[in-house]
Chain A
Amino acid sequence: MSAKNKSKDDIEVLQEKLQSIKGREEIIGYILRGPNSASIDLKDPTRIVDYAILSATAFEEGQNISAMFEIGEVDSIITEGEDTKIMSMVVNDHCLSIFMEKNVDHDKLCKNLNLT
């Protein structure tokens, strides 16, 4: 199997897992953005644009901050608001942002999704 196909399979597996968790009450949704496509699944579709912009900004500024403080390749970015937080990370060249309630254990979620 080529590396490209394997990567595609990994993303498909990830999407399946994301589908399995999005039904949980504390999960608001996710954005999975690849080089050629994007999957967006949010409980409140009216917020797609706002969440997409925030997700992209978090990625961009996370990279900038990493360079500023020389902390190496970014593993994850957590953006916390009043009641909501976003966990953002790069998975096989795809930018994944999962939106959830603030009290969610995002480290555990990462493990459940095999993202660590």
Chain B
Amino acid sequence: MNKDAYAVALRNALTEIKNICPDVSRSFIFGKDRQIVSGDSETDEETMEKMISSFQSVAEKADTIGSLKAFYVNGKEGKVILSDVNDMYLALAASENADTTYLHSITRVIIVTVLKLLETITSTPTPPIPPQSAPSKQLVVDTLSGFFVGDSVQIDTELLEEWARFLRESVSEVEVEAFGGEATLCKVKEINDSKLKGKGMIRIPEKICKTLEVKKGELVTVKPAST
């Protein structure tokens, strides 16, 4: 999850805290590295930076009490609460009558829950999308015989083009599988006999037919090689 989504999620959490606790007037979160993570719209960045600077001044001297966990400033017209929440710091400004204990409980539940949820989402690996394979076709066998037939099979141009568009590359080899289970890889060309085009046929040299144990007129399954 990118940083922006993280900040948006926490900003929403801060908004919900203000909805639940109307005594809260301002809030923001910053990290242990003193960088602002997220804040409400009422608190300008300058104020946040000053607050972080004040916090840092106290935190630097707080080793003597075992590091700074919380800092409360209670004024006649309000209060500011700064507390450690899951390796971050939450700053809240609230009215003088705000129940600090209640605020503590609510903020900890909401912020910790959101942070744990964000951790779970970012740590769960996205399952890889399996590569799509080109659809196989069942074609009728026609045998090729003679000295010059070579070892390439022949199929319709349209099918080769369809596979090429799917794979975004030209198809030079196909896998031919008979119903008996035998399969073989063959070079492939376009059907050159115009009378046989568009009839869903595959023209296979006789020696390959023997390998596959298929005869003319039988069905075989054909698909581009390595799909």
Contacts and interface: CB of A to CB of B under 8 A. Distances in A.
Q: Is the interface of A mostly helix, strand, loop or mixed?
A: mixed
A61 B77 CA distance: 17
Nearest to B75: A71
Interface in B117-155: none
Point out which of B50, B54, B67 has the most chain A C-beta atoms below 10 A from its C-beta: B54
A47 B73 contact: no
Interface size band for A: 20 to 34
A79 B65 contact: yes
A75 B76 contact: yes
Interface in B69-100: 69-80, 93, 96
Contacts of B72: 76-78, 80
B73 A71 contact: yes
A17 to B, nearest CB: 21
Contacts of A76: 72, 74
A81 B69 contact: yes
A84 B65 contact: yes
B2 interface: no
B62 A73 contact: no
A70 B58 contact: no
B75 A53 contact: no
A60 B54 CA distance: 9
A61 B56 CA distance: 10
Interface of B: 26, 47, 50-51, 54-55, 57-58, 61-80, 93, 96
- Top 8 closest A-B pairs, CB basis? A81-B65, A82-B66, A71-B75, A72-B77, A71-B78, A72-B76, A50-B64, A80-B70
